[in-house]
Chains A and B, each alone.
Chain A
Amino acid sequence: MLEVKNLVKAFGGLVANGDISFELQEGEVLGLIGPNGAGKSTLFNCIAGYYKPTAGKILFEGKDIAGWPPHLVTREGIARTFQGMKIMPNLTVEENVMIGAFCRTNERQVAKKEAREILNLMGLTEFGKELPSGLPISVQKRIELARAIATKPKLLMLDELAAGLNPLETKEIIRTLQRFKEERKLTLFLTEHVMEFIMTISERVIVMAAGKKIAEGRPEEVARQDKVVEAYLGERYAKGR
């Protein structure tokens, strides 16, 4: 479904993504992990159209979308959430989700119905008429998720969805996410600091460090590799095991 080939993104002399290649199958859940500054967000932003890759290809269902502006990437079927939440503060929760739904329709009634349905499935109906700014983080995270899902994506990219959530809330959002994945046949690509989250939900993970892909495989296998432990905890710890 998604194939990234030799992707390079450099900011001046700093190479944030050096020669990254990987594939993502339809219906799969792929996790992306790595220490701070590994280039995870840069990779996300390249795929979603916020950064223009310096070199390389991003094939989505056979089309090279590298360098496309974000709104076209979304219309093509890739939705995303943001690490720091970006909810429209002056619009109600329902309107926020409606704007996502407007991606696939011109009719307000259709968008409204779609938004209400998603809010209902998210358990957010009670907040529909409220402004998002006063709501707790766990609710705001779900609004972001609802809004991205409302654009009817095939591939959903989640940037640090569990950041700022307590373990209970994390479990809840995993459950919601899995239900939407089943019902809407979503493919998921996510990055996360919360290991518990990514290890539970991912079928396969990619590990990045210092702008390079250093490992790929099933979560429990990857976590044991020396290179990965080294990237997270330093050389000494990896050798001492």
Chain B
Amino acid sequence: MGQLLTDIFFFNDRPRFERVGFLIFILIILIFPWIVTSAYGRAVAIKFLLFALFGLGWNLIGGYGGQVDLGQAKNVGFGAYATALMIVWWKVPFWLTIIPGMIIAAAESFAIAYPMFRLKGHYFAIATLCVALVWKELFIFWDWTGGARGVEIPIRSGADFVYMQFNSPIYYHYFIFFLFLLQFFFMNWFRKSKLGYAVQAVRDNEEAAASLGINVYRTKVVNYTITGGLGALGGSFMAVYYLYIDPDAVMPLDLSILIAMTVMVGGAGSIWGPIIGAAILIPLDMYLGAWLGAQKRLGIDFMVYAVIMMVIAAKEPRGIWGIIERKIKKETR
């Protein structure tokens, strides 16, 4: 038990500058809404934490697992719809909708994992992208999901901790930070667990992994299933944060790509990568959105991402974290 807690909450295996850096990061997030009082600045911070959360989850398959999954938005959508529909239909308290949302997303991922993992590399990436797009079209087509009109969660007055509705963004800030930390500590445990090592072994060399007693196929399926479940957590938050969801908001292709980008830019397969990536891409995304306005629809932001992606792929496949780590190693030598 003591060992488990240490594995979850401690970073003893990481260098000191990383631990200090993480503490500073926590402090900044804690005091942020008291320093930045503009609604826009606070919204950027919340979106940053949300995407850092998404990135942490996607890192499981994309970073540690080394499989480019371009369909994480479907899991976000499952989470968002599970929460929104359960609140609208049966008035279920928000906190009780999280787990069902995650279970639905995980179950769907598990079910499609069998055909998916017959594919590798680019083909796997294309398959995940297609599956996510099919789900989005289905959610637009179906009536019970509200179709293209989406789902609206009835607004309550005052601060409501049962349905997590607040007037002030400060509440949402700490709420998403709490969810972020939950997932962060889960990832901290995961990367050191037997499963975590199996996932990384499979990424690095499938044949060698099998020769060490690892069931390659099962490892991939379990990893993909957990990734699915984790994606739904952020989706549940989106439902109560925006109070209105439709397939274009919670399941679009842009979302899948932005999630994958945060991890790749920040540093795939490292625990800090998604946080760094989100800290760069989310402000950039919001800025581009404001600057380009309606032209954003034309896909100019995608062109900017494509350029970033190409530079990262060519110069430093391990992302910004890779650059930082190399710099630090050089200095200590």
Contact = CB atoms under 8 A, between A and B. Distances in A.
Contacts of A79: 211-212
B200 A148 contact: no
Contacts of B7: 108
A99 B200 CA distance: 10
A111 B3 CA distance: 14
Nearest to A48: B211
A187 interface: no
Interface in B269-318: 269
A38 to B, nearest CB: 22
Contact of B197 (A49, A95, A109): A95
A108 B194 contact: yes
Contacts of B30: none
B85 to A, nearest CB: 38
A81 to B, nearest CB: 8
Interface residues of B, number: 23
Contacts of A86: 205, 207-208, 211
A102 B210 contact: no
B193 A99 contact: no
A82 B207 contact: yes
Interface in A56-84: 69-71, 74-75, 79-80, 82
Nearest to B269: A90
B221 interface: no
Nearest to A101: B212
Contact of A74 (B3, B204, B213): B213
Contacts of A148: 211-212
A151 interface: yes
A108 B193 contact: yes
Contacts, number: 82
B198 interface: yes
A199 interface: no
A1 B21 CA distance: 55
B209 interface: yes
Given A71-B216, A95-B197, A99-B198, A88 B204 contact: yes
Contact of B212 (A69, A99, A106): A99
B297 to A, nearest CB: 39
B230 to A, nearest CB: 21
Nearest to A70: B210
Interface in B48-99: none
A78 to B, nearest CB: 9
Given A102-B194, A108-B192, A108-B194, A88 B200 contact: yes
Q: Most B CB atoms within 10 A — which of A86, A106, A148?
A: A86
A69 B210 contact: yes
A99 B192 CA distance: 11
A98 B213 CA distance: 12
Q: Most A CB atoms within 10 A — which of B192, B197, B216?
A: B197
A91 to B, nearest CB: 6
A87 B204 CA distance: 8
A181 B140 CA distance: 65
A75 B213 contact: yes
B198 A102 contact: yes
B212 A151 contact: yes
A79 B212 CA distance: 7
Interface in B215-253: 215-216
A34 interface: no
Interface in B137-181: none
A217 interface: no
B213 A151 contact: yes
Contacts of B205: 86-89
B200 to A, nearest CB: 6
Contacts of A80: 211
Q: Most A CB atoms within 10 A — which of B200, B211, B215, B216?
A: B211
B104 interface: no
A90 B193 CA distance: 16
A103 interface: yes
A16 B7 CA distance: 49
B204 A90 contact: yes
Given A70-B211, A86-B211, 12 more contacts: A50-B210, A71-B214, A86-B208, A87-B208, A88-B201, A91-B201, A98-B197, A99-B214, A100-B213, A102-B194, A102-B197, A148-B212
The 3 closest A-B pairs by CB, nearest first: A88-B204, A103-B213, A86-B208
